[in-house]
Amino acid sequence: MKIYITAILFSICSAAFGQSTGILKIIDSLQKKNIDTLIHYYQKCETYWGESNEYLLWRQKSSTKIMTYTSNELVENKYRYTIRVINDDTIFSYFNKHIDKIQNEHLVPMVCKIQMGDTTVYSTMENLHPCTIYLIVDYNGMPVLYENRKEDLDETFFGNPNLNYPFNSSTHLFRLIKMIQKEAK
């Protein structure tokens, strides 16, 4: 039952958020091997067509693995993936230690203070071609989806400070995303 509920959620996310069906098949096969925690991270930009990367992390036999899955939206059935072992267990240790907080946290939108003559304007700045970051964590059959604009994680936006950066960067969710981004490069 757990696998079916998770598969349904991942399928809904796929249709709504642009996950590739190839990665969903890999997720399904890992769940059948009783992998209890999967972390799926990817970024979707409105104007990026062609190749895109998705990252899948899991623990297996006391080692952490990361898969980089590259697909091409312009060419059907064109994909490649690599799997590598991460030397330490920092991401999963951090996640397990702070799971209760991470499940209840959210990031707030970027807000910039801009001076226009004598007027101070506070604006939720948005990129012309916005990118959205998706983080889907399946922990013991309970999938949780986090969706944020890429800019919400940035300290500045075209030289303007993100006034919500101090709050966002203090959250465990933000730290987890940054750890994943570091490994995903």
Tokens of residue 63, six digits: 């080692």
Q: Find how far residue 23's CA is from the centre of its chain.
A: 14
pLDDT for 89 equals 86
Read off the pLDDT band of 19 (50, 70, 90).
Answer: low
How much of the chain exceeds pLDDT 90, in percent?
A: 38
- Partnered with residue 64 across adjacent β-strands are 59, 86
pLDDT for 4 equals 41
The DSSP letter of residue 21 is H
Please give the domain boundaries of the chain with CATH numbers for all domains.
2-184 (3.30.1560)
Residue in this structure with the two tokens 């409105």, named with its chain if needed: 46
Indicate if the pLDDT at residue 72 is higher than 80: no
- Tell me: the pLDDT tens digits for 46-62? 665 666 788 999 988 88
Indicate if the pLDDT at residue 112 is higher than 70: yes
Q: Is the C-alpha dihedral spanning 70, 75, 76, 78 positive or negative? A: negative
pTM metric for this prediction: 0.81
